[in-house]
Amino acid sequence: MDLHNLIEIKAIVINPKAKLVENILELEKLEQVPTRNGYGEGLVEVGKKNPNVVVLCADLTESTRSEAFRKEFPERFVEMGVAEQNMASVASGMNAMGKIPYISSYAMFSPGRNWEQLRTTVCYNERHVIVGGAHAGVSVGPDGATHQAIEDIAITRVIANMTVVVPCDQHEARKATIVVADLEGPVYLRFAREKTPVFTTFDTPFEVGKAEILFETKGKPDVAIIACGPLVHNAILAAAELEKNGIKVRVINNHTVKPMDEKTIVQAAYDAGAFVTVEEHQINGGMGSAVAEVITRNFPVPIEFIGVQNRFGESGSPNELIKHFGMAPEHIVKAAKKAIRRK
């Protein structure tokens, strides 16, 4: 693992290859943009590059940000109406005819409502269909439990042939949306509704299947924090707080839940000897479960899981809900200390 040529920033060490924003620990100074905006930007860019890209949406064109593609390429956009199951099947057929369909809706409805069509019509036939699931996690806010997808990582990663990617911010969402057009087989991209910190840059590396070490304190880490989605930034804030207490931390952006970067995960288990996983999702079956599967097979260490603890969502403001469900930086700090004590 290449951790040479590291540059110290305040109390934390950043790998220059990560090319993150300089003020990453100053939350009030960071730009705040929904990750779904990156999806809309990426759709336009990939549409310009590849004339076979088409976009389908289930009556949520503005909310999913697929509206930008509709305006740029109206002849390659199809409004399916409130018919997510039909949308998945139509997309499978379009791919069979050489198109690269992106299908857009709230994650509760796609992959939620159309899971069986995705499983049988898309994945079983190995169709290259990209599923853009917006409004995932409890940070959807006042819409409440019925619209807060907190099971979607679990139900997609279990399907054979499916790639699952959870971008951490707007820039990573844009990159992921573009890159997956060149993959093979079905892909699930997970996006949040609420504005979240933009802490990567246009130059930050992104590769499907390759987790990125963003930060670590000097010396051998005491604990590794493995996170995905916008909560990666909370993991970084928690790492800074832990360092103040003399605890050395490695923070990994594990954006690709499937296929997972087992090499980076196992190396972190070997180096740190304790894990905390962080996701805005049920802890059962999600990214943390996938990490546990990897290290159980290779190098078992104590793990603590930050996420939704076997509950449904609730209505409230996004930040209020993140704290209420135990996913704020202070909860990650507490979990890290517990994992270390269990060594």
* Annotation says 84 is catalytic: yes
> Of 41, 45, 67, 84, which residue is the catalytic one?
84
Non-local (6+) Cβ contacts of 199 within 8 A are: 20, 21, 24, 30, 168, 169, 232, 233, 236
Non-local (6+) Cβ contacts of 229 within 8 A are: 35, 136, 137, 166, 167, 168, 190, 192, 255, 279, 280
Q: Are 208 and 167 in contact (CB under 8 A)?
A: no
CA atoms within 13 A on the CB side of 229: 33
Backbone angles phi, psi at 209, to 5 degrees: 90, 5
Cα separation of 312 and 209, whole Å?
30
Cα separation of 262 and 303, whole Å?
16
Backbone angles phi, psi at 123, to 5 degrees: -70, -45
55: enclosing H helix or E strand: strand 53-57
Q: Angle, nearest 10°, between helix axes 329-341 and 231-244?
A: 60
Catalytic residue set = 84
